[in-house]
Amino acid sequence: MFCRKLPKYLVTLARSYHRTGSKQSLQASIAKVPDNLVKALAGIVGDKNVSTAMAVREQHGRDESYHDCAPPEVVAFAESVEHVSEVLKLCNDAEVPLIPFGSGTGLEGGVNAIRGGVCLDVSKMTNIISVHPEDFDCTVECGVTRNTLNNYLRDTGLWFPIDPGADASLCGMCATSASGTNAVRYGTMRENVMNLEVVLADGRVINTAGKDRRTKKTSAGYNLTNLFVGSEGTLGIITKATLRLHGIPEDTISAVCNFQDVQSAVDTTVQVLQCGIQIARIEFLDEVSVDACNKYSKLDMKVAPSLFLEFTGSPNSLKDQTQLVGDLVKMNNGSDFRWASDIEERNHLWKARHDILYACMALRPGCKPYSTDVCVPISNLPEVIVRSKEEIQKAGVVGPIVGHVGDGNFHVFFPVDQSNPEEVKVVSEVARKMAVLALEFNGTCTGEHGIGMGKRKLLEQEIGEDGLDVMRQIKATFDPKGILNPGKVFF
Ligand SMILES: Cc1cc2nc3c(=O)[nH]c(=O)nc-3n(C[C@H](O)[C@H](O)[C@H](O)COP(=O)(O)OP(=O)(O)OC[C@H]3O[C@@H](n4cnc5c(N)ncnc54)[C@H](O)[C@@H]3O)c2cc1C
Ligand SMILES: *[C@@H]1O[C@H](CO)[C@@H](O)[C@H](O)[C@H]1NC(C)=O
Ligand SMILES: *[C@@H]1O[C@H](CO)[C@@H](O)[C@H](O)[C@H]1NC(C)=O
Ligand SMILES: *[C@@H]1O[C@H](CO)[C@@H](O)[C@H](O)[C@H]1NC(C)=O
């Protein structure tokens, strides 16, 4: 379809992109719309699937984070893997940046077109290709979201449990190695992806575990699947994912309880895990986020450090689990154990938990979320949370803490007034200190949101210079011209 020999206009275009991302050149490259490139894109995906309208570009130039919008020059919508492959060939030949866009719910500025270029929106690729109930797996196209998949699976008795707060695309979730409240029981995307179809920068299509392979285990060579999980659009475009499914548990009960301090809440969590209780979810909210949650979701929880818990299993196992956890909570002076066993009450509770980002933003209307996402060995969690809280208080900012506490993972969703650079600076300094603290405590600067543009410096601190060099070498192998989501993960 597209002429493989590089046309002249593409050579010119390529040269203009070879500047680094300084502010001036960035604006210069964003200001103009390259007509010829747009035509070539339309030749591949069709006129209706290409847009240079400012509203569409702006919508694709940012995710849900505080990072300034950086609109791509043009947005193309792919409807098939062939489209993706041809568009990549085009951009690779022209050396034009290409940024994959899933559903734009990321929290680290993953989709922002900081070097201009083409945004490739894959949300129209929504086929559920196969479901194998007896093998507990399914294969989906990249635009399928987690809620769409779970609605589709409803009658099979199976579900896909990975649940970031947003209804994100499943391949976007692969790209950021997402997880959520269910990770304590089911793991993260890493543990639940078996195979990926990926289009490389030069347009080649590979299947990371081999075409149509979907075995529970394999010892066949390097794990390419894992390499693409968490690659944030910098190594290739994921067009299909084969995912592990799980049985929907027989019965479910949820509960909320509160504690005098953070330490007691986390101690309870550690003891629950040590007792071998297969808790389905265990989430920490500090008093600031409980307050936000009460206001936003019309709950009336006591404003104190709290745990949201969920138990699943047969009625008998539920009885055992809840009794044991009840005792542990009492032992740690937790109080106000409130049960929600009917589905409506339960859904209300977990919807409140999932809406917490918006609840935190509602504390300061008009603000955007500046989020931090650190993860430490769970034994270090109380100290890291307490010291983070001190930093937040010292800086005098609003910083609700919410944690996937069973995984040693917690977030602060600072509501930030983007129009106030001084405030952004103060908050980003607190966030940086928290990440450095997590690294000091043998943790990571991001448990699930990714590096994006906000944590590139921290990545080097985390894995060291040599580790980062190896990552760069891997990137160069897959994307020698550096067209894929440039400026993300690395500088
Ligand atoms: C309210 C709220 C709550 C959230 N809670 C959580 C949470 O609990 N846990 C969690 O992990 N995250 C959470 N997130 C963040 C977000 O939902 C995840 O990062 C999600 O994985 C992003 O998916 P997406 O499809 O929206 O990706 P996008 O935002 O579109 O893209 C994210 C990154 O992946 C790349 N990308 C997207 N699609 C592809 C593809 N097909 N191939 C290659 N690269 C691709 C993009 O270029 C970008 O770098 C939350 C977000 C919101 C708004
Ligand atoms: C390879 O990586 C994937 C994705 O992280 C994971 O699900 C799978 O179990 C890994 N395979 C092996 C053999 O380790
Ligand atoms: C619980 O409270 C009692 C009485 O105030 C106190 O003696 C005890 O040390 C507390 N236990 C824990 C684990 O905090
Ligand atoms: C980090 O790990 C090292 C090696 O195990 C250990 O010596 C050190 O005490 C740990 N740091 C913290 C703060 O736990």
pLDDT tens-digit map of 363-390: 999 999 999 999 999 999 999 999 999 9
Cβ–ligand 2 contact at 227 (below 6 Å): no
Give the per-residue pLDDT at 446: 98
Give the per-residue pLDDT at 27: 42
Q: With beta carbons less than 8 A apart as the criterion, state whether 84 and 237 touch.
A: yes
CB neighbour list of residue 383: distance below 8 Å, 6 or more residues apart: 441
Give the per-residue pLDDT at 51: 97
Give the per-residue pLDDT at 12: 52
Structure-block tokens of residue 345: 């009450």
Cα(15) to centroid(ligand 4), Å: 48
Cα 203 to Cα 88, 157, 197, 237, 479: the distances in Å are 5, 38, 12, 10, 11
Helix (H, G, I), strand (E, B), or coil: what is residue 177? coil
Q: Which atom of ligand 4 is nearest to the CA of 379?
A: 14
Q: With beta carbons less than 8 A apart as the criterion, state whether 118 and 37 touch.
A: yes
Rounded-to-5 percentages of helix, strand, coil across the chain:
45, 20, 35
Cα dihedral 70→76→79→83 (10° resolution): -110
Give the span between the Cα atoms of 34 and 483, in whole angstroms.
17
Q: Which atom of ligand 2 is nearest to the CA of 217?
A: 13
Give the per-residue pLDDT at 8: 53
Give the per-residue pLDDT at 28: 39
Residue nearest to atom 23 of ligand 1 (CA): 172
Give the per-residue pLDDT at 341: 79
Where would I find the H helices in 203-252? 224-228
Q: Which atom of ligand 1 is nearest to the CA of 236?
A: 43
Cα(380) to centroid(ligand 4), Å: 10
Cα separation of the two ends of the chain: 34
Give 55-113 pLDDT, tens digit per residue. Answer: 999 999 999 998 999 999 999 999 999 999 999 999 999 999 999 999 999 999 999 99
74-77 β-sheet, strand order: 50-51, 74-77, 118-121, 98-101
Q: Which residues of the chain have pLDDT under 50?
A: 1-7, 9, 11, 13-14, 17-31
* Segments of 134-267 assigned E as strands: 137-141, 158-159, 193-199, 205-207, 237-244, 246-247, 251-258
Going by C-alpha positions, the residue among 265, 251, 63 that lies closest to residue 164 is: 63
Ligand 2: residue of 162, 217, 225, 242 to mutate (most ligand atoms within 8 A of CB) is 225
Cα(374) to centroid(ligand 4), Å: 17
Q: Which atom of ligand 4 is nearest to the CA of 442?
A: 1
Residue nearest to atom 3 of ligand 3 (CA): 333
